[in-house]
Amino acid sequence: MFLGVVVPLKAKSVSRSWKVTCRSLKATISSLQNQSDVDFVVVVAGHDKPNFFNSINDDRIIFKDVDFHEPTQKKGIYSPQVLINDKNLKIIAGMKGLAKYQPEYVFQLDSDDLIHSDFVAVLRQHEPFDFMTLDGGYFLYKYCNRYITTSNINQYCGSTVIISSRYLFFPESVELESKYLLPWTRYRHMSIYKFFDDTPEVRFARMSDKLIVYVVGSGDNLSDRWRDNLVKKIKWWLKPYLLGRRVGEKFSRDFGLNRSLKN
Protein backbone atom coordinates (compact mmCIF):
# COMPACT_ATOMS: atom_id res chain seq x y z
CA MET A 1 0.00 0.00 0.00
CA PHE A 2 1.11 3.52 -0.81
CA LEU A 3 -1.22 6.02 0.85
CA GLY A 4 -1.81 9.61 -0.24
CA VAL A 5 -3.15 11.99 2.40
CA VAL A 6 -4.85 15.30 1.61
CA VAL A 7 -5.05 17.90 4.40
CA PRO A 8 -7.03 21.10 3.64
CA LEU A 9 -5.92 24.03 5.84
CA LYS A 10 -8.16 26.93 6.77
CA ALA A 11 -6.90 30.37 5.71
CA LYS A 12 -5.47 32.70 8.33
CA SER A 13 -8.05 35.35 7.37
CA VAL A 14 -10.99 33.12 8.38
CA SER A 15 -9.40 31.34 11.33
CA ARG A 16 -10.76 32.35 14.72
CA SER A 17 -7.23 31.91 16.03
CA TRP A 18 -4.33 31.32 13.64
CA LYS A 19 -2.22 30.22 16.60
CA VAL A 20 -4.76 27.51 17.44
CA THR A 21 -5.02 26.48 13.78
CA CYS A 22 -1.25 26.11 13.47
CA ARG A 23 -0.95 24.28 16.78
CA SER A 24 -3.67 21.84 15.73
CA LEU A 25 -2.05 21.22 12.34
CA LYS A 26 1.32 20.66 13.99
CA ALA A 27 -0.23 17.91 16.14
CA THR A 28 -1.85 16.38 13.05
CA ILE A 29 1.48 16.35 11.21
CA SER A 30 3.16 14.83 14.26
CA SER A 31 0.66 11.97 14.27
CA LEU A 32 1.53 11.36 10.60
CA GLN A 33 5.27 11.43 11.24
CA ASN A 34 4.66 9.02 14.13
CA GLN A 35 3.62 6.22 11.73
CA SER A 36 5.16 2.76 12.09
CA ASP A 37 4.66 2.22 8.33
CA VAL A 38 6.21 5.11 6.36
CA ASP A 39 4.77 4.25 2.93
CA PHE A 40 2.74 7.43 2.50
CA VAL A 41 2.85 11.03 1.29
CA VAL A 42 0.96 14.05 2.62
CA VAL A 43 -0.14 17.19 0.78
CA VAL A 44 -1.30 20.09 2.96
CA ALA A 45 -3.15 22.64 0.80
CA GLY A 46 -3.60 26.18 2.09
CA HIS A 47 -3.29 29.92 1.56
CA ASP A 48 -0.87 30.45 4.44
CA LYS A 49 2.12 28.28 5.27
CA PRO A 50 2.60 27.94 9.05
CA ASN A 51 6.05 28.90 10.30
CA PHE A 52 6.74 25.47 11.81
CA PHE A 53 6.76 23.99 8.29
CA ASN A 54 10.16 25.60 7.75
CA SER A 55 11.64 23.20 10.29
CA ILE A 56 10.07 20.04 8.84
CA ASN A 57 12.77 17.95 7.22
CA ASP A 58 10.56 15.24 5.74
CA ASP A 59 10.07 14.68 2.01
CA ARG A 60 6.75 12.94 2.70
CA ILE A 61 5.17 16.14 4.04
CA ILE A 62 4.46 18.72 1.31
CA PHE A 63 2.84 22.13 1.62
CA LYS A 64 0.97 23.24 -1.50
CA ASP A 65 0.21 26.95 -1.81
CA VAL A 66 -3.16 27.66 -3.40
CA ASP A 67 -3.65 30.70 -5.61
CA PHE A 68 -7.43 31.05 -5.66
CA HIS A 69 -9.06 33.85 -3.66
CA GLU A 70 -9.53 33.47 0.07
CA PRO A 71 -13.12 33.27 1.37
CA THR A 72 -14.90 36.63 1.35
CA GLN A 73 -16.99 37.81 4.24
CA LYS A 74 -20.16 39.81 4.64
CA LYS A 75 -20.39 42.05 7.69
CA GLY A 76 -17.60 40.10 9.35
CA ILE A 77 -19.49 36.78 9.17
CA TYR A 78 -18.48 33.84 7.02
CA SER A 79 -21.33 31.60 5.91
CA PRO A 80 -20.83 27.84 6.36
CA GLN A 81 -21.13 27.34 2.59
CA VAL A 82 -18.31 29.81 1.89
CA LEU A 83 -16.05 27.88 4.25
CA ILE A 84 -17.16 24.54 2.78
CA ASN A 85 -16.39 25.77 -0.74
CA ASP A 86 -12.95 26.90 0.40
CA LYS A 87 -12.29 23.49 1.97
CA ASN A 88 -13.51 21.71 -1.16
CA LEU A 89 -11.17 23.73 -3.36
CA LYS A 90 -8.27 22.84 -1.09
CA ILE A 91 -9.14 19.15 -1.26
CA ILE A 92 -9.18 19.47 -5.06
CA ALA A 93 -5.81 21.27 -4.92
CA GLY A 94 -4.46 18.52 -2.67
CA MET A 95 -5.60 15.85 -5.12
CA LYS A 96 -3.86 17.73 -7.92
CA GLY A 97 -0.69 17.80 -5.81
CA LEU A 98 -0.93 14.07 -5.10
CA ALA A 99 -1.25 13.07 -8.75
CA LYS A 100 2.49 12.81 -9.47
CA TYR A 101 3.03 10.47 -6.53
CA GLN A 102 0.48 7.96 -7.87
CA PRO A 103 -0.89 6.77 -4.51
CA GLU A 104 -2.79 3.49 -4.43
CA TYR A 105 -5.24 4.85 -1.85
CA VAL A 106 -6.24 8.33 -0.74
CA PHE A 107 -7.34 9.57 2.68
CA GLN A 108 -8.70 13.04 3.41
CA LEU A 109 -7.56 14.14 6.88
CA ASP A 110 -8.80 17.30 8.56
CA SER A 111 -6.11 19.64 9.85
CA ASP A 112 -7.04 19.19 13.52
CA ASP A 113 -7.56 15.41 13.67
CA LEU A 114 -5.03 12.76 14.70
CA ILE A 115 -4.28 9.24 13.46
CA HIS A 116 -2.93 6.24 15.34
CA SER A 117 0.75 5.35 14.87
CA ASP A 118 -0.32 2.07 13.22
CA PHE A 119 -2.87 3.71 10.90
CA VAL A 120 -1.04 2.92 7.64
CA ALA A 121 0.11 -0.50 8.87
CA VAL A 122 -3.44 -1.57 9.80
CA LEU A 123 -4.84 -0.37 6.47
CA ARG A 124 -2.22 -2.50 4.71
CA GLN A 125 -3.48 -5.58 6.59
CA HIS A 126 -6.97 -5.02 5.17
CA GLU A 127 -5.97 -4.83 1.51
CA PRO A 128 -7.45 -5.15 -1.01
CA PHE A 129 -10.47 -2.85 -0.66
CA ASP A 130 -11.97 -0.05 -2.70
CA PHE A 131 -13.76 1.97 -0.04
CA MET A 132 -13.22 1.82 3.69
CA THR A 133 -15.10 3.56 6.49
CA LEU A 134 -13.49 3.95 9.91
CA ASP A 135 -15.98 3.34 12.73
CA GLY A 136 -13.79 3.29 15.82
CA GLY A 137 -12.12 6.30 17.38
CA TYR A 138 -12.05 8.92 20.09
CA PHE A 139 -13.30 12.39 20.86
CA LEU A 140 -10.50 14.41 22.45
CA TYR A 141 -11.33 17.37 24.68
CA LYS A 142 -8.07 19.25 24.97
CA TYR A 143 -9.31 21.79 27.50
CA CYS A 144 -9.54 19.07 30.13
CA ASN A 145 -7.12 16.50 28.65
CA ARG A 146 -9.79 13.80 28.49
CA TYR A 147 -11.19 11.57 25.75
CA ILE A 148 -14.35 9.59 25.03
CA THR A 149 -14.33 6.30 23.10
CA THR A 150 -16.81 5.83 20.25
CA SER A 151 -17.75 3.10 17.77
CA ASN A 152 -19.36 5.49 15.26
CA ILE A 153 -16.77 8.22 14.77
CA ASN A 154 -17.70 8.33 11.07
CA GLN A 155 -20.97 10.08 11.94
CA TYR A 156 -19.13 13.05 13.41
CA CYS A 157 -15.67 13.22 11.89
CA GLY A 158 -14.77 13.86 8.25
CA SER A 159 -11.45 12.00 8.50
CA THR A 160 -12.95 8.52 8.24
CA VAL A 161 -12.90 7.38 4.59
CA ILE A 162 -10.11 5.76 2.55
CA ILE A 163 -10.67 5.14 -1.18
CA SER A 164 -8.76 3.28 -3.87
CA SER A 165 -7.26 5.68 -6.39
CA ARG A 166 -8.71 3.66 -9.27
CA TYR A 167 -12.05 5.32 -8.48
CA LEU A 168 -10.64 8.81 -8.00
CA PHE A 169 -10.16 11.85 -10.21
CA PHE A 170 -6.85 13.71 -10.01
CA PRO A 171 -7.59 17.14 -11.53
CA GLU A 172 -5.17 19.10 -13.67
CA SER A 173 -6.62 22.44 -12.49
CA VAL A 174 -8.34 23.66 -9.34
CA GLU A 175 -11.96 24.44 -10.17
CA LEU A 176 -14.97 24.26 -7.85
CA GLU A 177 -16.90 22.38 -10.55
CA SER A 178 -14.56 19.44 -9.92
CA LYS A 179 -16.24 18.91 -6.55
CA TYR A 180 -18.82 16.70 -8.25
CA LEU A 181 -16.05 14.35 -9.40
CA LEU A 182 -14.60 13.64 -5.93
CA PRO A 183 -16.42 11.80 -3.14
CA TRP A 184 -15.16 14.03 -0.29
CA THR A 185 -16.33 17.20 -2.00
CA ARG A 186 -19.56 15.88 -3.48
CA TYR A 187 -21.00 14.38 -0.30
CA ARG A 188 -20.76 14.88 3.44
CA HIS A 189 -18.56 12.30 5.12
CA MET A 190 -21.41 10.13 6.42
CA SER A 191 -22.88 9.88 2.89
CA ILE A 192 -19.77 9.38 0.75
CA TYR A 193 -20.83 5.80 -0.02
CA LYS A 194 -23.49 7.32 -2.33
CA PHE A 195 -20.68 8.24 -4.71
CA PHE A 196 -20.56 4.53 -5.63
CA ASP A 197 -24.30 3.90 -6.05
CA ASP A 198 -23.76 3.11 -9.72
CA THR A 199 -20.65 1.03 -9.14
CA PRO A 200 -21.89 -2.29 -7.71
CA GLU A 201 -18.51 -4.01 -7.95
CA VAL A 202 -16.92 -1.72 -5.33
CA ARG A 203 -15.49 -3.66 -2.38
CA PHE A 204 -16.73 -1.91 0.77
CA ALA A 205 -15.04 -2.45 4.12
CA ARG A 206 -15.58 -1.18 7.66
CA MET A 207 -12.87 -0.82 10.29
CA SER A 208 -13.65 -1.07 14.01
CA ASP A 209 -10.04 -0.44 15.13
CA LYS A 210 -9.81 2.87 16.96
CA LEU A 211 -7.49 4.75 14.63
CA ILE A 212 -8.85 8.32 14.61
CA VAL A 213 -8.99 11.12 17.15
CA TYR A 214 -11.54 13.84 16.49
CA VAL A 215 -10.38 16.92 18.39
CA VAL A 216 -13.49 18.78 19.55
CA GLY A 217 -13.70 22.26 20.95
CA SER A 218 -10.35 23.27 19.48
CA GLY A 219 -11.68 26.83 19.18
CA ASP A 220 -11.87 26.63 15.41
CA ASN A 221 -14.52 23.95 14.77
CA LEU A 222 -17.60 24.76 12.71
CA SER A 223 -19.59 22.66 15.17
CA ASP A 224 -18.81 25.15 17.96
CA ARG A 225 -21.67 27.30 16.68
CA TRP A 226 -24.19 24.59 17.56
CA ARG A 227 -23.68 25.31 21.25
CA ASP A 228 -25.74 28.47 21.05
CA ASN A 229 -27.14 28.62 24.59
CA LEU A 230 -25.91 28.18 28.14
CA VAL A 231 -27.50 24.75 28.71
CA LYS A 232 -25.80 23.27 25.62
CA LYS A 233 -22.48 24.78 26.63
CA ILE A 234 -22.70 23.34 30.16
CA LYS A 235 -23.66 19.87 28.88
CA TRP A 236 -20.77 19.95 26.42
CA TRP A 237 -18.34 21.04 29.14
CA LEU A 238 -19.46 18.30 31.57
CA LYS A 239 -19.58 15.43 29.05
CA PRO A 240 -15.87 14.43 29.08
CA TYR A 241 -15.81 14.51 32.89
CA LEU A 242 -18.85 12.23 33.12
CA LEU A 243 -18.15 9.86 30.21
CA GLY A 244 -14.47 10.21 29.45
CA ARG A 245 -11.06 9.18 30.66
CA ARG A 246 -7.91 11.18 31.25
CA VAL A 247 -5.29 11.10 28.49
CA GLY A 248 -2.47 8.83 29.57
CA GLU A 249 1.01 8.02 28.31
CA LYS A 250 -0.13 5.25 25.93
CA PHE A 251 -2.82 7.39 24.31
CA SER A 252 -0.33 10.23 23.87
CA ARG A 253 2.25 7.89 22.38
CA ASP A 254 -0.24 6.20 20.04
CA PHE A 255 -1.39 9.50 18.54
CA GLY A 256 1.88 11.43 18.56
CA LEU A 257 0.83 13.89 21.25
CA ASN A 258 4.14 13.53 23.09
CA ARG A 259 5.98 14.05 19.81
CA SER A 260 4.08 17.26 19.01
CA LEU A 261 4.91 18.70 22.42
CA LYS A 262 8.62 18.00 21.96
CA ASN A 263 8.83 19.55 18.46
pLDDT value of residue 112: 94
Q: How many CA atoms lie within 13 A of 113 on its CB side?
A: 25
Just give the CATH number of 3-262: 3.90.550
C-alpha closest to that of 208 among 160, 240, 245, 252 = 160
- Residue 207 CB contacts under 8 Å (≥ 6 apart), including other chains: 122, 126, 132, 133, 134, 135, 136
Domain chopping of the chain, boundaries: 3-262
pLDDT by position in tens, the chain (length 263) = 999 999 999 999 888 889 999 999 999 999 999 999 999 999 999 999 999 999 999 999 999 999 999 887 665 566 778 889 999 999 999 999 999 999 999 999 999 999 999 999 999 999 999 999 999 999 999 889 999 999 999 999 999 999 999 999 999 999 999 999 999 999 998 999 999 999 999 999 999 999 999 998 655 555 555 556 787 778 888 999 999 999 999 999 999 998 754 55
Q: Return the biggest CA–CA distance within the chain.
A: 51
